[in-house]
Amino acid sequence: MSNPATTPLTHIVDDDEAIRDALSWLFRTRNVAARAWASAEDFLAAWQPDWQGCIVLDIRMREMSGLECFDALLERGNTLPVIFLTGHGDVPMAVGALKKGAFDFLEKPVDDNALVDVVIRALATNARHQANQETQATVATRLAQLTPREHEVMQLVLAGKFNKVIADELNISMRTVEVHRSRVFEKMGVRSAVELAQLLSPRD
């Protein structure tokens, strides 16, 4: 049994066993690791925030619908790309799902190649997102290690101020500024203010 936290899986969520089997088979023939779920409830009960991969989610299911499942996932902070499949979609439903962040919205019957293409793109998107999350987590961990004073000095360093100016503003000696500055660089794993600025540059 693959571990969804480290091996990206395409999760097929559909109450129709024939569809689940067909999609499982399709993905297997395309070397896409997949796992099938017979209901949205089953999937949600198992879902973990650190899973990697993507979700192929049928809209119309017996108990909980795909859209309800999607809303629940969003509430839990899901970041897996969600591809909706539906036999009877309408425009507001599709538009609403996409604007809530759904990755795609496809109508059945769906072309095998088209679906696999979408899944592969979704997996790539998830991989990029994961890499970005890890970087941000590392930065956040390092920032959390700074003492309040170090953090304060760091902001002024990032504002491009001289040590002498920082010392004046904080009413401390230049030597103290140097100590804090040096410790900031050490804790943030950088060697210069340029590297620090680049590490902490705002990203959309």
Partner DNA sequence: TTCCACACTGCGGTTATCCACAATTGAGGG
Partner DNA sequence: CCCTCAATTGTGGATAACCGCAGTGTGGAA
Residues that bind its own copies (CB under 8 A): 86, 89-92, 94-95, 98-99, 104-107, 157-160, 190-198, 201-204
Interaction between residue 3 and DNA (CB under 7 A) = no
Tokens 């590490």 label which residue? 199
Decide if 133 contacts 79 (C-beta within 8 A).
yes
Say if CB 108 and CB 86 are below 8 A apart: yes
Least gap, CB of 1 to its own copies (angstroms): 34
Work out how close the CB of 106 gets to its own copies at its nearest, in angstroms, rounded to a whole number: 8
* 3-state SS track over 12-70: EECCCHHHHHHHHHHHHHCCCCEEEECCHHHHHHHCCCCCCEEEEEECCCCCCCHHHHH
- Please choose, out of 37-45, 51-59, 118-126, 176-184, the segment that lies near DNA by the rule CB under 7 A: 176-184
Can residue 181 be called a binding residue for DNA (CB under 7 A)? yes
Q: Which residues of 47-70 are buried (b: 16+ CB within 10 A; e: fewer)?
A: beeebbbbbbbbbbbeebebbebb
Smallest gap from Cβ 83 to its own copies, in A, equals: 11
H helix intervals, 63-203:
66-75, 91-99, 112-144, 148-158, 163-170, 174-188, 193-199
- Please identify which residue in 11, 20, 35, 180 interacts with DNA, judged by CB under 7 A: 180
Q: Which does 99 bind (CB under 5 to 8 A by kind): DNA, its own copies, none?
A: its own copies
The distance of closest approach from Cβ of residue 174 to DNA in the complex, given in angstroms and rounded to an integer, is 7
- Please list the residues that pair with 86 across neighbouring strands: 107
Going edge to edge, which strands form the sheet with 82-86?
A: 34-37, 9-13, 53-58, 82-86, 104-107
72, 158, 193, 199: residue in contact with DNA (rule CB under 7 A): 193
User: Of the ranges 25-33, 76-84, 93-101, 177-185, which one interacts with DNA (CB under 7 A)?
Assistant: 177-185
| Segment contacting DNA by CB under 7 A, of 12-20, 43-51, 117-125, 141-149 | 141-149
Residue 198 near which of DNA, its own copies, none (CB within 5-8 Å, type-dependent): its own copies
Comparison of 7 and 182: residue with beta carbon closer to DNA: 182
In the bound state with its own copies, the residue whose beta carbon lies nearer, of 64 and 196, is: 196
Residue 129 engages DNA in binding (rule: CB under 7 A): no
How far apart CA 100 and CA 89 sit, in angstroms, is 16
> Facing residues of 55 across strands?
11, 82
